[in-house]
Amino acid sequence: MKYTKKDRQQLLLETLEKNPFITDEKLASTFNVSVQTIRLDRMELSIPELRERIKSVAAHNFVEEVKSLPLNEIIGEIIDIDLDKQAISILDITQDHVFARNGIARGHHLFAQANSLAVAVINDELALTRKSTITFVKPVKAGDRIIAKAVVLSRDTEKNSTLIEVTSKVENDTVFIGQFSMYRVTKS
């Protein structure tokens, strides 16, 4: 379906309001136009590129500060966090993340995103992984966007332990599941 420029730009605004993490490529496909047309529309409407939109949403959603590690040590971009409850991060898989021979993402990148998210959700100054149980469900390829969600399942204050489950998805397909037993301590 062809849209007038005005209609397309209005739909673009509505689409990005609902999903600020959609790529220019997906928008181009949705509106049956080139990626360049989407970029020009975004420029005219003063809509930042995807990476800036992610950072903006993340800054807006950080009501609490991550205590357990510096934000620049987190693998992926945290877009939502509720300390000791849940957190969400996004990681875009590039050619640097995949094996050259088959284009499949190296597992340590998925693990690193999930593990750093499990550390970040802890509301203490020190959080270390005691034990993890992980399952790689489906291969991930260059160009995929991994959305990881960490959920705190239980907390044992006597043992300074927290159990966290992280589920990573590409679109709506689960690609990784991990359970992380975390050691936590508040420094005095």
pLDDT beyond 90 at 151:
yes
Give 70: exposed, middle or buried? Use CB within 10 Å, 0-12, 13-18, 19+: exposed
- Do 32 and 67 sit in the same domain of this protein? no
pLDDT, mean of residues 121-144: 93
- Do 66 and 18 sit in the same domain of this protein? no
CATH number at residue 69: 3.10.129.10
Question: Where are the strands (E) in the chain, listed by range?
Answer: 77-82, 86-92, 126-136, 145-156, 161-170, 173-185
Instruction: Name the DSSP class of 157.
Output: T
pLDDT tens per residue across span 68-103? 666 667 888 888 888 899 999 999 999 999 999 999
* Torsion angle (degrees, nearest 10) of CA 17, 18, 21, 24: -70
pLDDT given for residue 140 in this prediction? 97
Residue 118's domain comprises 61-185
